Structure 1
Amino acid sequence: MRAHRLATITVAAAALLLGSTAPAIATSGSDAAPFAAQATAAHLTTSQTNSLRAEVRRIMATTGGKQVALNKIDLNGQGNVLVAIPGEAHPRNLPTSSADEYDHCTEGDVYSGYFCAYASPSYQGTEIQMFACKAYPIPWVGNGSWINDQYPGTQARFYNNSGTKIFTTPVPFSWNTNYSTWTNVHTIWPC
């Protein structure tokens, strides 16, 4: 057992030093990293897996919630954060396939009840799906996009870090493919 573990550590260290692009490998037993099987099944490199884990930790430090998949954070039953894999335009559904994770704001019925904020323009990058009437912290800066697909008459409100309202969306169905900056937005109340 000790020889196997030493060989595994040696191979992993060599891969990191050589900049391996081989898929991340799940370890066995209690030392297995959370969601390692998803990374392996998705054919993610060690670098992609480590970058994704770091991004999930960074976002959770702002939004809270519980990590329920390698790239998904459950916001206590009140929404989700779907984190895009580095270099990809949209979050994936890692537990089941390489297809895009279901986006309540761009797919399905109009007036889904969701407000969705995207880290990048044109509904790309990491996405926060907001459903409950509460403050959702925004964990990114720069240009992004949003879709108000809530119930008729519902407007989202954007607040800066001092609590001042800086923007109110039009009623659903409304959107902005290139919101000028998330940098000034500290929280969104989708109701």
Structure 2
Amino acid sequence: MKFRSQITKRVSVLLCVMALAAGAGSAAAAATDRTTQSAESKYAAQAKAAGLSSRQAAQLQDRVDAKLADIKVPAEQVGYNEIRAKDGSAIVTVSVPGVADTSCTYEWLCLWTGPNWTGSKVSFTKCQDYDLNDYSFNNDTLTSYKNNQTTGTVARFYNWEGRKVYKFGSTAYHTEDSLANTPWDNMIDIVDVC
């Protein structure tokens, strides 16, 4: 009888521990859900402040989510239409209908998918080679750029042709160009920022 009592107590303790663990897991999941909802509502508020309707904000968030899923480097959403590489070296800005973002921060190289600094944008600041496919600039989509780095800094643009092939360079300060109607439009795969 005493043996059964000890087994019953041990089973009861084990069940209590399992229930507590399940509760802790549920609490962690609930906290994660609240954090996600908080971020989503913050981005929805930013989109609304930019003049987007709820429907447009939801569609934009879907595009941001798709781009974030396509980016091959560790990255996170930091604004209603902005994704930043976790090391801070790159920012991807998803285009917003009716809102042109032609800006390029000083000491950055900025690239756009559309002519005349339109469409989605990716901006780089560290001196290294970047494969544009890693930042969801797939299928040779570069069409315009601004080299807003320090004076004399040269950015180099390459196409992948079984190997990295140099196509042209851009010397800062504030060199900009639209590649539309040039041989390099929708060709560049890799940039060496400086």
More helix by share: 2
Q: Which residue of 1 aligns with 2:77?
A: 67
Q: Distance in 2 between matches of 1:142 and 1:153?
A: 26
Contact 1:114/1:131, CA 8 A, preserved across alignment: yes
Which residue of structure 1 lines up, in the alignment, with residue 56 of structure 2? 48
| Aligned-pair CA distance for 1:155 | 1.6
Which segments of 5 or more consecutive residues in structure 2 lack a partner in the other structure? 1-32
CA contact under 8 A between 2:112 and 2:142: conserved in structure 1?
no
Correspondence for 1:166? 166
Which residues of 2 match residues 87-126 of structure 1 at below 5 A? 87-91=97-101, 103-104=104-105, 112-126=106-120
| C-alpha displacement of 1:132 | 0.4
Contact 1:155 / 1:168 at 8 angstroms: preserved in 2?
Answer: no
Question: Which structure has the larger Rg over C-alpha atoms?
Answer: 2
Q: Do the aligned partners of residues 160 and 44 (structure 1) sit closer, same or farther apart at CA in structure 2, a change above 3 Å counting?
A: same
CA shift in 2, pair 1:178/1:184, >3 Å? closer
Q: 1:83 aligns with which of 71, 87, 94?
A: 94
Give 1:132's aligned residue.
126
TM-score, normalised relative to structure 2: 0.61
Sequence identity, in percent? 23
- Unaligned runs of 5+ residues in structure 1 are 1-28, 92-99, 105-111
